[in-house]
Amino acid sequence: MSTILVIVEQRAGKLNRVSWETIAAGQAIAAQNGWTIEAAVVGSNSGSGVAAIANEVAAKKVAKVYAIDSARLDPYTPDAFSFALREFLQKHPAKLVLLPHTYQVRDFVPKLATALQTTVISDAIGYKYEDGKLLFTRQMFQGKFVADVSFAGAGPCFVTFQNGSFRADKVEAGAAPAPVETVNVVVPDGVVRTHPQQVFQEAKQAVDLTQAEIIVSVGRGIKEQKNIELAQQLADALGGELGASRPVCDNGWLPMDRQIGSSGQTVAPKLYLALGISGAIQHIVGMKASRSIVAINKDSEAPIFEIADYAVVGNLFDILPPLIEEVKKAKGPNQ
């Protein structure tokens, strides 16, 4: 019987919640093809409490959970993680290895897969069976297209899933806790070549966009820093906060703490108004859970329109002035 191994992510001794989505993905695939689903957590028991995390995962419907343990796995380094998982996978062969597409996973999985002479289908958003063949879907060209991707070779095939592709609340609990096995790995001297320092935040986040009910967000289409003022006026009229896509913050037009997306904040306001944002994947993952999305963009093929509830194709500099006026009118004179 073939095995699906889900590698959950721990950071500083805590399970990254996005791992539940990956388990949900594994359970869905296993339910369809009858393969066995197992899970693994990597770290050190003393430093990152992998046994406790393994027990948390063991409550779910999985056949077994491995706690892969070595003092050298804490703190995280790509060298140690790749080494330990290669050792593990050589002894516990899997057909599929599933992980969340996090920055940490991006950092070590291509190395691990290469060491095993196999491949990673990265940033997948789903899977399907077609003519008995297992295919993974992934976005291409910044979300403008989707590709069905097949894998070849002896495996294991690694697949990383984009945040939000599966629902964490769909994870099935097990009838009884799954067995947990601690696997002690010896990572020899010289394997780890990089020396990570403490994780830190640049500055205290001045703005907590996760609490905002209305966000007016600007992208590259705003063109110049002086045009930000127009978006600010709309945000003020609506009583919302200003957000931005990465290029706007890279240009220094708005501070980094306004950035929404995979490298910034993840938000889910009542209203997300995207001005001149094309909708690159890295931005979408940070705002797609918003209750209502309004997109204004001159490019009718911009991927942001795929997830918009209301769409305006046009020049935002034509639309913003009357829109600000209309919002002010609707809000009444007390505003």
Partner 1 sequence: MKILVCLKQVPQKDAPLKLNAAGTWVREDVSYEVNEPDAFALEEALRQKEKHGGEVVVITAGPARAAQVLREALAKGADRAIHLEDDAFAGLDPYNTARAIASAIQDDKFDLIFTGLQSDDYGYAQTGVILAEILGWPHATIIMQIDTTPSGIRVKRELEAGFFQFVDMPLPAVLTIQSGINKLRYATLIGIKQAKLKPMRKVTMAEVQSALGANLQKIEKLYVPEKSKNTVFLEGPPAEVAKQLVAKLKNEVRVI
Residue 97's CB is within 10 A of a number of other CB atoms, namely 26
Instruction: Tell whether residue 289 is a contact of partner 1 (CB under 8 A).
Output: no
> Toward partner 1, which CB reaches closer, 169 or 201?
201
Q: How far apart are CB 260 and partner 1 at their closest, in Å?
A: 11
Tokens of 287: 């705002």
The only residue of 68, 135, 222, 228 in contact with partner 1, by rule CB under 8 A? 135
Tokens 């309004």, located at residue: 294
* Beta strands at 10-11 and 14-15: parallel, antiparallel or unpaired: antiparallel
Footprint on residues 15-54 left by partner 1 (CB under 8 A): none
- Nearer to partner 1 among residue 23 and residue 308 (C-beta): 308
DSSP state of 141: G
Tokens of 330: 């609707």
User: Least separation, in Å, of the C-beta of 50 and partner 1?
Assistant: 20
Contact assessment for residue 180 and residue 56, using Cβ atoms and an 8 Å cutoff: no
Which residue matches tokens 């950092």? 107
Q: Which stretch binds partner 1 (CB under 8 A): 47-55, 62-70, 224-232, 260-268?
A: 260-268
User: Other CB atoms closer than 10 Å to residue 217's CB: what's the count?
Assistant: 34
Judged by beta carbon, residue 67 or residue 125, the one nearer partner 1 is: 125
**Quick one: which of 33, 150, 184, 225 contacts partner 1 (CB under 8 A)?**
150
Residues 6+ apart with CB under 8 A from 14: 53
- Residue in 63, 134, 183, 312 binding partner 1, rule: CB under 8 A: 312
For β-strands 64-69 and 180-184, DSSP reports them as parallel
Using CB under 8 A, which residues numbered 184 to 223 contact partner 1? 193-202, 205, 213-214, 220
- Single residue of 50, 271, 274, 275 touching partner 1 by CB under 8 A: 271
In which residue are the tokens 């992998």 written? Answer: 50
Q: Which is nearer to partner 1, 174 or 314 (CB)?
A: 314
Contact pattern for partner 1 over residues 82 through 101, marking x by CB under 8 A:
x-------------------
- Name which position in 174, 179, 255, 314 contacts partner 1 (CB under 8 A): 314
Question: Which of 31, 71, 186, 313 is the binder for partner 1 (CB under 8 A)?
Answer: 313
- Integer Cα distance of 229 and 325 in angstroms: 15
Task: Please count the other Cβ atoms lying within 10 Å of the Cβ belonging to residue 63.
Answer: 16
In 3D, which of 291, 282, 281, 288 has the Cα closest to residue 307? 288
Q: Are 45 and 69 in contact (CB under 8 A)?
A: yes
Helix (H) or strand (E) holding 10: strand 10-11
Q: Which stretch binds partner 1 (CB under 8 A): 28-36, 52-60, 135-143, 173-181?
A: 135-143
Q: How far is the CB of 183 from partner 1 (least distance, A)?
A: 23
Nearest-approach distance from CB 179 to partner 1, in angstroms = 32
> Closer to partner 1 at the Cβ: 54 or 286?
286
Nearest-angstrom CA–CA distance, 288 and 147: 20
- Piece in contact with partner 1 (CB under 8 A), picked from 23-31, 48-56, 60-68, 248-256: 248-256
